[in-house]
A and B are shown apart, each in its own frame.
Chain A
Amino acid sequence: MSTVKLTVNGKAVAVDVEDRTLLVQLLRDHLNLTGTHVGCDTSQCGACVVHMDGRAVKSCTMLAGQADGASITTIEGIAKGDELHPMQAAFRDNHGLQCGYCTPGMIMSAIDIVHRHGGQLDEATVRHELEGNICRCTGYHNIVKAVLDAAGRMKVAQAAE
């Protein structure tokens, strides 16, 4: 057992876990943050993507101990109170989800994509960049639309700040 200390959605936490505990297990089973999903559990599907120190990582392919000292943001941590993150709002407005299982990972990856590419996003880039996130419902079409829509909204939001 070890004590893992990290910041999750802005809050400092210390959790006693077995050393073999995965980051996703710490989030879901110990902190009850079940918005982060486990899809394939083999680092293919991306349902478990969270941000660690601003980078989108697969939380099923990290030990909790590797995140010691890091700042983690999950899907639960991106809205401002009742106001959805622009990426969440764009997914809703563009019907970018059906069953919703992949959605938390899609949104966390998509925010990272927009951060990396800024205003340079086009459809081909979004499709290519989503290669680590699998959706079995939508055929990706509306997900891609949502990401492009959100990229515009995030630029406007950033300009307003």
Chain B
Amino acid sequence: MYQTTYHRASSVDEAASLFAKSSEAKFLAGGQTLLPVMKQRLASPSDVIDLAKIKDMIGVEASGDTLTIKAATPHYDVATSDAAKKAIPALAYLASLIGDPAVRYRGTIGGSIANNDPAADYPAALLALDATVKTNKRSIAASDFFKGLFTTALEDGEIVTAVSFPVPAKAGYSKMPHPASRFALTGVFVAQTKSGEVRVAATGASQNGVMRVSAIEAALKTNWSPAAIDSVSIPASGLLADIHGTAEYRANLVKVMAQRAVAAAG
């Protein structure tokens, strides 16, 4: 790792002002992606600003029809949160599948979505549940937030402070994990909103990162059942292809994971 200067922020405002004063700072939450990247010398921030101890950024709260997860909440705390399990069990389940137990104690939802890895789990949940990303400057709809591989709508120095999820009528998540990294070879989150809208999002599949799957949404809108997806055809063009799986394999996984997610949602 190259030399860097570590700062621990005690408030969001302090973190923002530390960032403004640094030449090339990076925010650090759980560090489960940033630190490995720094160790490989693929990133060399002049300063790292630790957000993990900012009290206002930790916790899970349910209020009315909204579940809010503050950005520095580790995956373990989401997976075991009574509020999350009650409001959106599929979301707590998704958190329980990220990485491994030690990673889940450190990794955070804010870090995951700010990084926007094309095979990360949370982006699928945000997009399917039509979540809102809260930052220190504004609110951003999930559909406007994810902009492609490792790219988001966040401006330089902007800090994700929380994510708000409307509680759906039904939701389910299923993923085929890469057996070593536990990232999604493909994962699909399905949701039926309380107003009857069907939203389906896939991660790990598209070359542009998380995506809506409109063909499956249309099929489920007519008939909310795994069998409704049988006849859907997912084109392989634009999907990821690597040593772990071809684009055609991933196209099929989108269907199979969606079917399992619908079955899980009930």
Contacts and interface: CB of A to CB of B under 8 A. Distances in A.
B59 interface: no
B153 to A, nearest CB: 28
A62 B106 contact: yes
Contacts of A18: 3
B150 interface: no
A101 B257 CA distance: 37
Given A42-B36, A62-B31, A66-B50, A109 B102 contact: yes
A147 to B, nearest CB: 13
Given A20-B3, A44-B180, A65 B50 contact: yes
Contact of A65 (B2, B6, B38, B102): B6
B262 interface: no
B35 A62 contact: yes
Given A44-B180, A68-B8, A112 B101 contact: yes
A55 B77 CA distance: 12
B105 A66 contact: no
B3 A19 contact: yes
A112 B105 CA distance: 11
A56 B102 contact: yes
A109 B101 contact: yes
Interface of B: 1-6, 8, 28, 31-32, 35-36, 38-39, 48, 50, 52, 76, 99-103, 105-106, 180-182
Interface of A: 2, 18-20, 22, 41-44, 46, 49, 55-58, 61-63, 65-66, 68, 109, 112-113, 116, 129, 131-133
